[in-house]
Structure 1
Amino acid sequence: MKVRKPQSKRKSTRLQKGIEKKISAHNRKQKKLSKKDPTWKSRHPKDPGIPNSFPYKAQLLEEIESKKQADIEARELRREQMRAAAIAQGASAEQVQAMDAQQDIIEQQNRLGALMDSVNHAALEFAGEIENVDNEDEMADDSDDEVTEELENAFVELNQDASRKAFDKYFKQILDACDIIIYVLDARNPTGTRSKEVEKLVLQNPNKRLVFALNKIDLVPTEVLSEWIKHLNKQFPTVPINASGAAPNAFVYDHPYTLSKQMTAQNMLKSLKKWSGQANLGRAAVAGVIGYPNVGKSSVINALLGRHGGGKACPVGAQAGVTTDIRRVKIDSKLSILDSPGIVFPNGSKNKNPVEEQARLILLNVMQPRYIDDCRPAASVLVKKLQKNDDLYKQFMLHYNIPPVVQIEFEEFMTQLLVHIGRKMGRLNKGGVADLQGAAQSLVTDYTSGRIPGWEKAPDIAKVAKSQVEVVSSWSKEFDLDGILEGLL
């Protein structure tokens, strides 16, 4: 029998391209038809639950409910034991109440833990660092403590241990690797976004230089900015910078051309290059950018690169936590910059009311209002702060068209204020009742985005040690800041 020669399975390029075109056309057609389908379909299969035909369904539901009740009772029992132990140690009623509030915050972190775990898992899966997991139960095998730790590292909540871990992990790396530490401060509240401990650690090494970068200067008036620069420049060299544009509909102030985004970035880049040229390090100088979350660290680097023709090298966003690791950006052969994640730096105070600390971090835009169960304490702190300044309070009243209010108790005033804001912003519950939590969230968001003007006044020029004045004066000459700050000091 004659054996036939085996035929090759190879196709011509023309035939292969024709098949690919038909497949693409088919996919486009199916996608177009799916858009016309009025029924909504989820990408993820829905959990069918327990079928009604299952003979032990009632028993299983009863066990699940009993387990929930047992967990609630165990949690309440632990709280009672903690209260009793605190009272036995002589704690006051206010301290016990603060302890309860802190427990509420920890429970809130645990509720968000599962969400953060799934987000991190999806990001790693998308990046190809882990394999796709078909069984969703395997994604929830981590203990509650590990989930809570991941959440604290992501959002830098009130837990002091997590803040200390992030501080030790990132700041120590920046301090060891850099010659210049650029400490980015928010011009609206420089005192709230700085840490004395950071400054002490930098001063312990005589070869390091610390420079304050006062960002978001377009949200404060020129006279307020000038007073802050005079105050901060007595302690460390301070450079104003307008790193990025304000949010839409933000209340911005006009400054001279020397304080524009282009000029401030150019002046800061010149100062860094001048120091690196005079340092004679025998290598490229390295500058590390540090600061609180969402203070504008990555925007500062992008502004410097914009003047140098490099474009955007660091991702930025309106929310905190966009930068998750240290990123190195090369400016030229003589200067490189390290971008770091935002850190809630230790401020030396350990026994703080957790509710007040949470309100402080919310107003600094460190914690996002959408992750908070109740933003009303932060809204109350904000309104009290605005009432101390007549001009700011008038602009605040005009922003929401708030009518004149008679003298009443502050708590009642806040309730009426949130009701007014809720109706104006469309934050309503069923029956047209104003959503006070939603109104407080809108109020805080308007402030953090700059739609409501607000800033802290610079204190009187503090007494600074003579040795530090000499150090700051010599550092300013090294960076040649006299020409940059001319007219502001």
Structure 2
Amino acid sequence: MKRPKLKKASKRLSCAKRYKIQKKVREHNRKLRKEAKKKGVNKRVKKDPGVPNSAPFKEEVLREAEQRRLKEENGKHSEKKIGTDRNSKQFLCGELNKVIDSSDVVIEVLDARDPMGCRCPQLEEAVLKRDGNKKLLLVLSKIDLVPKENVEKWIKCLQQEFPVVVFKASTHIRDKTVVGGRRIAPSNEVLDRSRAAACFGKSCLTELLTNYASNLEKETQLRVGVVGFPNVGKSSLINSMKGILACNAGVKRGLTKSMQEVHILKNVKLIDSPGVVALPSNPPASLALRSLQVEEGQESVLEAVRTLLKQCDMTQIMLQYNIPDFRNSLEFLTLFAKKRGYLQKGGVPNTEQAATTFLDDCTGAKLSYHCQAPEKNSLPLYLSDSMVAEMQKGWDLSKLKIGNAETLRGNGLQFEKIWPNIIRLSGVLGQ
């Protein structure tokens, strides 16, 4: 008996079901268009109408446009051939020079843990030789990692050359001005009272720059360039002054690739810059502290940690990380990896991950140490007494002294409560 054929299911839909599907599709497309409109990606690119036939000198205009296009293509090709990418030293130095040329005041940010190791004589000399009567201002950042007495000694030492402002940036800055999906106005006060969120020295630096800008004869904004070595806190300073996350900041070197202008006040504008390129002739401990050779692939993280541990007080390291006594850097990294749970297969300690964490603590704002200020400080060769007097002119030094004292008073309470264990590096760092 022949088996009857089974009828295939019909593809017909009821009108109600078809209309429902069409409605869902329309709603989905409407949602996509709405999201694209918010992101600004649905804007149609206007087509170039070209040069109309009735325009006079049409052939000359087209010829000039073609020559301009060929010139731009040749320029891009030559840049690729030379290798001037955004990570090259040539490009970074060019951006740094742009910041200096376009600034009325140049702020050199120094890590309070090692101020002399963060100074760049070539940079300071370049600022002094520039035209336009530029002012140089020193800012001691990360003062929460250094005892108050040590900061006061460095202020007394450095202010013999340039005006000095002490500063502690906030590392808990909101991303832009969006919280919970709604836009809010930026606040000048830091609500979070934790150590990372607290900011000290903002009012002092703001008042100093505002008074200097008001005394200038020109009506344009005061342009303030922020320069310094990597990981000294340039972008964090700008973010704290602005009150929002205006610049990328982190322990990784090279986050800032080019100059970036940030308006903080009506008459004051800050300019962020890439980190100063350090010479290989610097001391190994100073280069390891800024993880410069590690980032460039010239040194491993294990070698950098070994260099730093030679300068550290072992007792304070043990107190800081709550580990027992160790004999060398490998044993320290093994104990540190076990303490943090950095383990590989079979329970083998991951010393490389531990070394990276320790190096981030050193270059960032977690590990405390300090270098002693010299008792007698002589002026560098590029600086004379007349230049010192010129650099001090125009600033309200009496208010600056009062502002620094208030900043240290507020920061001292945070330091005494939260950061009692100090890891000291010898004074040879960065010398």
TM-score, scaled relative to structure 1: 0.56
Q: State how far apart, in whole Å, the 2-side matches of 1:196 and 1:383 are.
A: 27
Residues 293 and 321 in structure 1, CA contact (< 8 A), matched pair in contact too: yes
| Partners of 2:328 and 2:376 in 1: CA distance | 36
| Match 2:323 to one of 399, 402, 416 | 402
CA drift at 1:183: 1.0
**Cα pair 1:325 1:340 within 8 Å, conserved:** yes
Are the structure 2 counterparts of residues 288 and 17 from structure 1 closer, same or farther at C-alpha, using a change threshold of 3 Å?
farther
* 1:302 counterpart letter in structure 2: N
**Closer, same or farther in 2 for the Cα pair 1:246/1:221, shift >3 Å?**
farther
Deviations 1:358-411 (A, max 9, x none): x64342255667978731221122112213xxxxx4331123333346xxxxxx
Which residue identity lines up with residue 427 of structure 1 in the other structure?
Y
- Choose from 127, 130, 136 the match for 1:205: 130
2:103 to 178, 197, 210: 178
Q: 1:324 aligns with which of 257, 261, 265?
A: 257
Deviation of residue 276 (structure 1)? Answer: 1.7
Q: Kindly tell me: are residues 20 and 340 of structure 1, through their superposed partners in 2, closer, same or farther at Cα, counting changes over 3 Å?
A: farther
Partner of residue 484, structure 1: 400
Q: Give me the whole-angstrom Cα distance separating, in 2, the residues matched to 1:23 and 1:333.
A: 44
User: Taking structure 1 as reference, are residues 370 and 469 closer, same or farther at Cα in structure 2, changes over 3 Å only?
Assistant: closer
Q: Distance in 2 between matches of 1:361 and 1:194?
A: 13
Q: CA deviation at 1:448?
A: 2.7
Change (3 A) 1:368 1:218: farther
What displacement does 1:209 show? Answer: 0.5
| Residue 157 of structure 2 corresponds to residue 241 of structure 1 | no
Query: Which string of whole-angstrom CA distances, capped at 9 and with x for unpartnered residues, describes residues 445-478 of structure 1?
Result: 2333343322222222312279734543453352
Deviations along 1:418-461, one digit per CA (max 9) or x if unpaired, are 22223222333444333333332232223333433222222223
Choose the corresponding residue for 2:309, options 371, 374, 383.
Answer: 383
Equivalent of residue 286 in structure 1, options 223, 239, 243 = 223
Quote the offset at 1:286 in angstroms.
1.3
Q: Deviations over 1:286-324 (max 9, x none)?
A: 111111223222222222223xxxx44333334333322
Structure-2 change in CA distance of 1:419 and 1:147 (3 Å): farther
Tell me how far apart the structure 2 counterparts of residues 419 and 19 of structure 1 sit (CA, whole Å): 59
Q: Which has the higher contact order (CA 8 A, sep 6+)?
A: 2
Match of 1:456 in 2: 371
Residue among 295, 301, 304 paired with 2:238: 301
8 Å contact kept, 2:222–2:267 = yes
Counterpart code for 1:193: C
Percent identity over paired residues: 30
In structure 2, the partner of 1:188 is 113
Q: In the alignment, which residue of structure 1 is the partner of 2:248?
A: 315
Q: Between 458-467 and 289-298, report the one with greater CA deviation.
A: 458-467
Cα 1:450–1:368 shift into 2, 3 Å: farther
1:275 partner SS: helix
Residue type at the aligned position of 1:481: L
1:276 pairs with 2:213: yes
Matching residue's letter, 2:141: N
Q: Deviation at 1:195?
A: 0.6
Partner of 2:388: 472
Within 5 Å, which residues of 2 pair with 1:129-148?
A: none
With over 3 angstroms needed to count, the CA separation of the structure-2 counterparts of 1:188 and 1:164, relative to structure 1, is farther
* Residue aligning to 1:434: 349
Residue 26 of structure 2: aligned partner:
20
Any stretches of 5+ residues in structure 1 without a counterpart?
A: 1-13, 27-142, 155-161, 248-259, 388-392, 406-411
- Pairs aligned (count): 319
Instruction: Mark the runs of 5 or more structure 2 residues left unpaired by the alignment.
Output: 1-19, 33-76, 174-196, 409-431
Aligned equivalent of 2:15: none
CA apart distance, 1:331: 3.5
Partner in structure 2 of residue 266 of structure 1: 203
Distance 1:277 1:16, change over 3 A: farther
Contact 2:223 2:270 in 1 (8 A): yes
Cross-structure match for 1:230: 156
Find the aligned partners of 2:333 and 2:231 in 1 and give their Cα distance. Answer: 26
Residues of 2 paired with 1:319 and 1:339: CA distance? 16
Rounded to whole Å, the distance in 1 between the matches of 2:198 and 2:321 is 30
2:288·2:308 contact (CA, 8 Å) conserved in 1? no
Contact 2:127 2:136 in 1 (8 A): yes
Give 1:283's aligned amino acid.
T
> For the residues of structure 1 that align with 2:110 and 2:98, how far apart are their CA atoms?
20
What's the C-alpha RMSD, in Å, of the aligned pairs? 4.0
CA contact (8 A) 1:298 1:339 kept: yes
Equivalent-residue separation in structure 1 for 2:296 and 2:347 (angstroms) = 22
TM-score scaled by structure 2? Answer: 0.63
Whole-Å separation in 2 of the counterparts to 1:197 and 1:228: 21
Aligned equivalents of 1:262, 1:203: Cα separation in 2: 30
Task: Say which SS state the counterpart of residue 323 (structure 1) adopts.
Answer: coil
Indicate how the Cα distance of structure 1 residues 384 and 321 shifts in structure 2: closer, same or farther if over 3 A, else same.
same
Q: Check the 8 A contact 1:183/1:289 in 2, yes or no.
A: yes
> Which amino acid counterpart does residue 120 of structure 2 have in structure 1?
S
